[in-house]
Amino acid sequence: MAEYVPLESLVSDDKLSRVDNIEKHGAEVTEVLVRNVKCCFATESRRTLWQGVGLEHIEPDLLDFIDKIELGSVFFDIGASNGIFSIYAANKGLNVYAFEPEIQNFGLLGKNVFLNNNSLGTLHSFNIALSDQTRQGQMFIANYEAGGHMKILDTPQLVGSDSKFEPAFIQNSLCYKLDDFIALFSIPSPNYIKIDVDGSEYQTLCGMEAVLDTGSVHSLFIEVDDTSSSAKDIHNFIMSKGFQSISKTQVQNYQGLNNYVYTR
């Protein structure tokens, strides 16, 4: 029989004390009122803290879009990140399906779903990317941080630029066509869709062609880099499915990066 070794003896008392403190207090949780809707967020870094407390100021046009959705509608949040907008939508009474491929963001999304498990609506989260093929892909991560951006599928290309970046980490990612995902797992078709995928918009749209053809989707909110080579294809594809653009809003101070709302 192997000699018994108490595992706690393998680390210093100082290290044990720090880990005990983390275990005792758990994640820092911040409760905020967003347009009079109570939301709870795991705020484990300065970035996630200011995202939580500043949600009304990040993309108010996206909150406007969510506010206009009928109670009980099916809302797909594609590129959900840590889920702050998904949480708001669920607490507004929507049936939310959140898709986020990056592992740190998805971990935070899961915590936020747990913290808001009494929401008026429902929230289902999936650790996958949506694309034009069902396949395995790679995600290039510029900075390995939870709640961060510049986590790009298939190529390490800067948003709004032809330049490449040196990734801090490369993660394998399961990719699905949305059409395949809905058919395989009997997921309800969305009534409303938000897409924010940092350069993979056209591929994501091509993977949901059958969904868009059904007529179930009433409106679509999408972030587009209008300086990119795919911008024209994105807009033409959406309009070919019977949608018209009803608004265009610049994303914060990012020149050329705009949020569009399309409706039938």
pLDDT score, position 160: 66
Give the mean pLDDT of the chain. 93
Strands 122-126 and 244-250 turn out to be unpaired
* The pLDDT of residue 82 is above 70: yes
Residue 208: its pLDDT value, please? 99
Residue 79 predicted with pLDDT over 80: yes
Predicted pLDDT at 84: 98
Predicted pLDDT at 217: 99
- Tokens 């200011």 belong to 50
Checking if the pLDDT of 88 tops 70, the result is yes
Question: Could you report the per-residue pLDDT of 165-217, keeping only the tens digit for each?
Answer: 899 999 999 999 999 999 999 999 999 999 999 999 999 999 999 999 999 99
- Indicate if the pLDDT at residue 20 is higher than 90: no
Pairing of strands 151-153, 129-130: unpaired
Widest Cα–Cα separation across the chain:
73
Residue 253: burial class (beta carbons within 10 Å; 0-12, 13-18, 19+): exposed
For the structural domain made of 59-263, what CATH number should be given? 3.40.50.150
Three-class DSSP category at 218: coil
What's the pLDDT score for residue 168?
92
DSSP calls for 6-73: -GGGGS-HHHHHHHHHHHHH-S-EEEEEETTEEEEEE--SHHHHHHHHTHHHH-HHHHHHHHTSPTT-
**Domain definitions of the chain by residue range:** 59-263
DSSP string, 135-180: EEEEEEESS--TT---EEESS-B-TTSS-B---SEEEEEEEE-HHH
pLDDT attached to residue 67: 99
pLDDT 10s digits, 31-64: 999 999 999 999 988 999 999 999 999 999 999 9
Tell me the pLDDT tens digit for each residue of 96-109.
999 999 999 999 99
**What pLDDT shows up at residue 219?**
99
More confident residue, 157 or 66: 66
Q: Mean pLDDT over residues 8-20, rounded?
A: 80
Q: How far is CA 31 from CA 85, 112, 174, 224, in A?
A: 14, 11, 33, 31
More reliable by pLDDT, 173 or 143: 173
> Is 25 a residue whose pLDDT tops 70?
no
pLDDT the model gives residue 112: 97
> Any idea which of 13-17, 151-155, 195-199, 248-252 has the lowest mean pLDDT?
13-17
Of 23-27, 169-173, 223-227, where does mean pLDDT reach its minimum?
23-27
pLDDT of residue 24: 67
pTM summary value: 0.93
